[in-house]
Amino acid sequence: LKIMRKSYISTLFTGLLLSITSSLSAQVYEIKPEGELLFANDVSANGVVTLYSPNSNFYWTEANGLVKINSFDDQIGGTPSISNDGQVIAVSATNPANNTRELSKYFISTGTFNYLGSLKNSLESSVYAMTKDAKKIVGLGFISEAYANAIYWTENEGLVSLGSSFQNSSSRADNVSNDGTKITGWQDLANGDRVTVVWNNNKQDYIKDNEGNYLYGGGNISGDGNWIVSNNYLGLPAIWNSTKYF
């Protein structure tokens, strides 16, 4: 899949940020943790925020402030995502039954986990995104000590591997459209380059520019699945659209 024309947005985006800073600054609430380096990752329609530090996952609500979900001795792996209603968080969590880090759902109302498994016993999996209806979770699952595959989970299918296009290489799912049919992420090539891909109903395609150059890193996708953003070989932001010529 090719970008219809290379669209680089860094200058436009910077200018847009500068133009809106003064008018929106009064609406900003700063979450100030004590002794934690936090990164906000997702937000629900009613303002529940998911966050992570190098070794912990959190959520924040206006009523209760910052709440720690779980923590690890090493880096967490993955990023927590929240449902649109602010009730369900997709998060990497250690299953106490097997002491393995797995894709999991965390329910805010009860403070409990539903562990969703890994591709192979004792090998970890990590969450990177979830549809807003909480029906599909995507991420990464190790198949050996050295290699991992992009994965997704649904209630009907369970945990599914999207595989890798090359032997002895890895892939990862980073984001998903609202209806769950399109998943973006990265694929390691045989030469080690990590390039942007999209899985459309589980079929993998590479995202390239008009000159046939790969885009690099994991791509983010719009809710309707028509827009993907990533970076070109120069490190500049680039946009892909399924129907529009730029």
CA angle, 199 then 246 then 13, to 5°: 85
CB-neighbour burial class of residue 147 (10 A; exposed 0-12, middle 13-18, buried 19+): middle
pLDDT tens digits, 61-119: 999 999 999 999 888 789 999 999 999 999 999 999 999 999 999 999 999 999 999 99
- CA 75 distance to own-chain centroid: 16
pLDDT the model gives residue 75: 83
Task: Output 223 or 8, whichever has higher pLDDT.
Answer: 223
Task: Output 237 or 14, whichever has higher pLDDT.
Answer: 237
- Report the alpha-carbon distance of residue 84 to residue 131 in Å, rounded: 9
CB-neighbour burial class of residue 140 (10 A; exposed 0-12, middle 13-18, buried 19+): buried
- Report the alpha-carbon distance of residue 212 to residue 74 in Å, rounded: 39
pLDDT range class, residue 153, cuts 50, 70, 90: very high
pLDDT the model gives residue 2: 60
Task: Output 233 or 133, whichever has higher pLDDT.
Answer: 133
pLDDT range class, residue 24, cuts 50, 70, 90: low
- Check whether 42 has a pLDDT greater than 70: yes
Task: Look up the pTM and report it.
Answer: 0.89
pLDDT the model gives residue 25: 59
pLDDT tens digits, 161-208: 999 999 999 999 999 999 999 999 999 999 999 999 999 999 999 999
